[in-house]
Amino acid sequence: MTNSYDSTVTEAGDTPSNRARSGDGGAALLLVNLGTPQAPEPGPVRSYLREFLSDRRVIEMNPLLWKPILEGVILRVRPRQTARKYRTVWLDQGSPLMHYTREQARLLGERLPGVRVEAAMRYGEPSVGAALDRFHADGVRRVAVLPAYPQYSASTVASINDAASAWIGRNRDGFEMRLHRSFPVSPAYIDALAVALEAHWARVGRPNFLSGDRVIVSFHSIPVAMDRAGDPYRGECRRTVAALESRLGLALGSLTATFQSVFGTAQWLGPQTIDEMAQLGGERCPRVDVICPGFMADCLETLEEIDQLNREAFTEAGGGDFHYVPWANASPGAVDALEEQARIALGGWL
């Protein structure tokens, strides 16, 4: 007597369903970034912020205390303000973060023959779960998850791991899954940052540190409470800065590390980038170059916060030339850095 499962296999033959069940779809790479609203309007921004700010990895507060603040204050005020900011950086192709992350995935796919590469977002669409659903339906059973975060934090990389693990928890037939960690001093990554700065200096001249020129390396901040609880993020940022100084042939301490994108009343890692800009401007700093190593794709935090708000803070306080130095997106160096990590994550599967 043949059971229903055996009958399905023997009678249906080589159907898409059976190919998926057999798990012969090869290996896949999922490139994951933070997320973005679907449109620069209050409604989509509110939906995105609700998901983002409801993550216990991001807001480490008792939900019973946090939810009234989120729903009663933040989601009533911030969506309209944030939507206006998004409109200043929105591209014809949509959100800069989404566009550039998809471009990175496309280019990685060209460099990794035989590997299916997709982009996903931790918050919003396309979601991590939906991408894993597609892989699974197509018979993929080996998946490497590559967070687009060079420095590890529980609020970023660990949250992506949570989403991938949640998919495993919901499904009977899981993946052989690899969760990549971080790459704060990887050679290709540090080289991409250095090449961008060197190309910028070839165009406008090297900064004269003796005359007061400054090079700012700005990272997204995290709450001090997370740092004190053991989050390794600040240490990995420091390692990136030291490796970049070495690669550029600069003395230790030549680059100034700052932190951006703080909100709320909690204490965050500092010094804050915008405070540093105001101070440098007040000191009549002749020139400042700013690079953001923690962002693999330009987004609201680089294009609006750094290149608009921080530029304004610096120049209005009396500073001289302000330069935001892009390095990421679909540049060869950024894709080289991601490819280096992808090949590590996919080791033995290629």
Question: What stretches in the chain show pLDDT beneath 70?
Answer: 1-23
Helix (H, G, I), strand (E, B) or coil at 62: coil
- Residue ranges of the annotated binding site are 220, 301
pLDDT tens digits, 34-90: 999 999 999 999 999 999 999 999 999 999 999 999 999 999 999 999 999 999 999
The confidence score (pLDDT) of residue 6 equals 40
The confidence score (pLDDT) of residue 23 equals 64
The confidence score (pLDDT) of residue 264 equals 83
- Residue ranges of the annotated binding site for Fe(2+) are 220, 301
Helix (H, G, I), strand (E, B) or coil at 176: strand
Closest CA to 237 of 255, 219, 224: 219
Closest CA to 44 of 125, 118, 102: 125
The confidence score (pLDDT) of residue 43 equals 98
Alpha helices in the chain (DSSP H): 4-12, 16-22, 42-53, 63-69, 75-89, 96-111, 128-137, 157-170, 187-204, 224-228, 233-248, 273-282, 311-316, 332-345
The confidence score (pLDDT) of residue 308 equals 98
Euclidean distance between CA atoms 85 and 231, whole angstroms: 30
